[in-house]
Chains A and B, each alone.
Chain A
């Protein structure tokens, strides 16, 4: 089975621009979560989607948004980029049901904001 894939792997943007990151979960997985990882703050939860609905949300400003499509693929969007948004953005998918808390991570998208 193919793992979680994220595109693009690397991205360079300038302040004020917006960016869209994509995540394709493992086949059969219906939950997709997004995390931001920085050296200073570590891993921080952004949001989780299940069956096209946002189920949980972390403490991030409204500039961070996401969505999930009917095939469980997910996108996250960051508008009006700030220097502090530079980070590794990780996507994780999980199965529905009893093992739903076991997450499988993609390789991440490294976003650099100049």
Chain B
């Protein structure tokens, strides 16, 4: 069975410093992995998707994530945080062999001025 764990419910960083949001997953098959962002009172927006073409995936707004099979991780990073990055971020796993999409519980990112 597939599952996804976001290791931090809240992360605070100063503007201009790097961002790291951690995600671990378990999957029986070949997973697709996603990161979505949700700004207050908005729907979820797709940041990036991993499908096995390349382990380092670049997304929108300067975010990227690296798929590490040995560590079953798919952490989201950004070199320099901006105030507009303050939002909730969701890691999502989807198995090719299982018709389910599983969302993590979310990580709220706070940006300090």
- Binding site secondary structure of chain B: strand
Complex contact A110–B100 (CB within 8 A): no
Q: Does B34 contact A (CB under 8 A)?
A: yes
Complex contact B44–A105 (CB within 8 A): yes
What is the size, in residues, of chain A's interface with B at 8 Å between Cβ atoms? 20
Complex contact B103–A108 (CB within 8 A): no
Complex contact A90–B103 (CB within 8 A): no
What is the size, in residues, of chain B's interface with A at 8 Å between Cβ atoms? 18
CB < 8 Å neighbour of A101 from B42, B94, B105: B94
Complex CA gap A103/B92 in Å reads: 11
Would A43 and B103 be within 8 Å (CB), given that A105-B43, A108-B43 are in contact?
A: yes
B12 → chain A, closest Cβ, in Å?
A: 19
CB < 8 Å neighbour of B90 from A33, A43, A55, A104: A43
Complex contact B41–A45 (CB within 8 A): no
Complex CA gap A104/B92 in Å reads: 13
